[in-house]
Amino acid sequence: MSEASICITGASKGLGLALVRAFAASTGKKVLAVTRNPGVLKHALGSDYPSKKIEIVDADICTEQGRATIYDAAESNGGIGILIHNAGRLLFKAFKEIESAELEDVYRVNVFAPFLLTQKLLPLFKGAHIISISSVGGVEGSLKFGGLSAYSSSKAALNCLTEMWSEEFKETDHSFNCLALGSVETEMFKEAFPGVSAASTPEEMANYIVEFAKTAPSVMRGKIISLSKSNP
């Protein structure tokens, strides 16, 4: 794994928070925890922050200024060794009722922001492993659920984008992979499936992703991998 920093978006809660903790605990690399809610993240980290291993980056990945802020933080910490596109937007609403602004908001966070942030940070990649956090619902042929047309289709786009990155940068030492997650006990999952118990905790999934980030580049590139013990 590269000596450069680890950048995680959507870091203030759920899987993002678990990823920050897991990477900080298991590697000697600086973790750049990107969030629009730094106060929430500081409170959630509690005694784990301030820390020499974690730098909270107050930035909105959907804006040019936010992406510039992330760039500056990464540049100051030796570039990017691992980038995890974890931030996501859920919309649970019947297809016929979705308004254009709502659709655009979902795609802005789930597709456009990873696209543009990867473009921005590309000069700082150092043998980097870029992992996109997707959903089983965005995988072709998987079981689909009503009310998730915007969300699932945006994740399908993210899956394809990962494959395109891998193709365009196949002559480099950068690796691009996508993890399509099943049910993880997060606020987003509870919103989409109220009353349903998730099959995995954020901590269980984060521990897997840490090891995947370290080891996957030696055996795979451009893969869409479903991680699910159940459906949903």
DSSP alpha helices (H): ranges in 27-107?
A: 38-45, 64-76, 100-107
DSSP state letters, 88-132: -------GGG--HHHHHHHHIIIIIHHHHHHHHHGGGEEEEEEEE
Assess whether the previous peptide bond of 194 is cis (omega < 30° from 0). Answer: no
pLDDT band at 228 (very low <50, low <70, confident <90, very high): confident
Residue ranges per structural domain of the chain: 5-227
Terminal C-alpha separation, the chain: 33
Dmax (CA) of the chain: 49
Per-residue CA distances from 221 to 162, 175, 177, 202 (Å) = 9, 6, 6, 24
Query: Architecture of domain 5-227 in CATH?
Result: 3-Layer(aba) Sandwich (3.40)
Model confidence over 22-72: pLDDT tens digits? 999 998 899 999 999 999 999 999 988 989 999 999 999 999 999 999 999
The whole model's pTM is what?
0.93
Name the CA radius of gyration of the chain, rounded: 17
Q: Which residue has the tokens 């980056």?
A: 57
How far is residue 7's CA from residue 33's CA, in Å, rounded to a whole number? 6
Model confidence over 73-124: pLDDT tens digits? 999 999 999 999 999 999 999 999 999 999 999 999 999 999 999 999 999 9
**What residues contact 166, with CB distance under 8 A and at least 6 apart?**
175, 176, 177, 221, 222
